[in-house]
Amino acid sequence: MRDVRSRQRRIVIGVLALSLWTSGFAAAAEQPIESHPGYFSLDDLGLVDPALSSVDINLRGAMLRLVGASVLQEEPSLAALVSDLVAIRVLVTPANELRAQQVDTVLGRGAASLEKAGWQRVVKVREADEQVHVYLKEVDGQIEGMTLFVYEPSDELTLINLVGRVDVEQLAAIGQAFDIPTLESALDADPAKTPDPDDRR
């Protein structure tokens, strides 16, 4: 009998989790992104011309829901993490497309405006060969967004804004499993790229 009961409990919890998961999706899709506490406009930094970026990713609400649904069967951990995100913005620009001094100034200004908007600085490294800023937006003890600037003058500038319930550790762990060159070439070969006017590479 205990067996049956624990199975019943598991099933009920499963149903509940499923309904919470889908309702979370719906709630996430409704809110205008700019009003989300975890949103920070990387584009407003005015630092990066997306045309010069090697990576220009801008994913939001409804599309992230579809991504979550599409990986649900094969990659449930990824689906769970994606379901907590409301938007993903990533810009990666080769350093040789940028003027180091300008980057320095603009990142400093960006960091200041994040702090002014109530973001918590988690990491700040400003050295000749590397500049790293990591900011978190917490609301009621819950992380609602994360913004990263990573600049290596000899390599590239990476700007990231993750909006939503960001599980830093899990996102990094899952992200490690993905190979950047493989994904980039898959994206280059992707037929969906042709009708998309936003040519990313």
Partner 1 sequence: MNRRDRGCERFDDSFEVFLDGELDADATSALETHVAGCEACASELALARRVRAGLRSLPRLEAPAPAVHAVLARVRDQGDRPIWRQWLALPRPAAVAAVAALVLLVVLAFGWIRPRQPESRLALEDPAVVRATLETKLALAHFASASRRVGTGLGRDLLRERALLPLARSVGDSLDGGTVNDDQRAVSAAPERG
Provide Rg for the chain, Cα atoms.
Answer: 19
The residues pairing with 49 across neighbouring beta strands, listed in sequence order, are none
> Does residue 111 belong to the site contacting partner 1 (CB under 8 A)?
no
Q: Which stretch binds partner 1 (CB under 8 A): 63-71, 95-103, 111-119?
A: 63-71
Is residue 80 near partner 1 by the rule CB under 8 A? yes
Q: What is the DSSP letter of 42?
A: S
Spatial distance between the Cα atoms of 146 and 54, rounded to a whole number of angstroms:
21
Binding of residue 128 to partner 1 (CB under 8 A)? no
**CA–CA gap between residue 135 and residue 143 (Å, rounded):** 10
Residues 5-34 as x/- pattern, contact with partner 1 by CB under 8 A: x--xx-xx-xxx-xx-xxx-----x--xxx
Handedness of CA 8, 10, 12, 18 (dihedral sign): negative
In 3D space, the residue among 185, 146, 159 whose CA is nearest the CA of residue 92 turns out to be 159
183: contact with partner 1 by CB under 8 A? yes
* Piece of the chain touching partner 1 by CB under 8 A; list 93-101, 103-111, 129-137: 129-137
| First-to-final CA distance of the chain | 60
| Strands of 156-164's sheet in order across | 55-60, 85-94, 156-164, 142-151, 130-139, 120-127
Q: Does 90 bind partner 1 (CB under 8 A)?
A: yes
Q: Which of residues 39-58 bind partner 1 (CB under 8 A)?
A: 43, 50-51, 55, 57
Tell me the two tokens of residue 43: 């584009």
CB of 102 to partner 1, least distance (A): 19
**Residue 108 sits in the site that holds partner 1 (CB under 8 A):** no
113 touches partner 1 by CB under 8 A: no
CA dist 165 and 88 (Å) reads 12
112 near partner 1, judged by CB under 8 A: no
User: Does 170 engage in binding with partner 1 (CB under 8 A)?
Assistant: yes
In the bound complex, what is the minimum distance in angstroms from residue 90's beta carbon to partner 1? Answer: 4
Binds partner 1 (CB under 8 A): choice among 24, 37, 45, 71? 71
Residue 64 binds partner 1, judged by CB under 8 A: yes
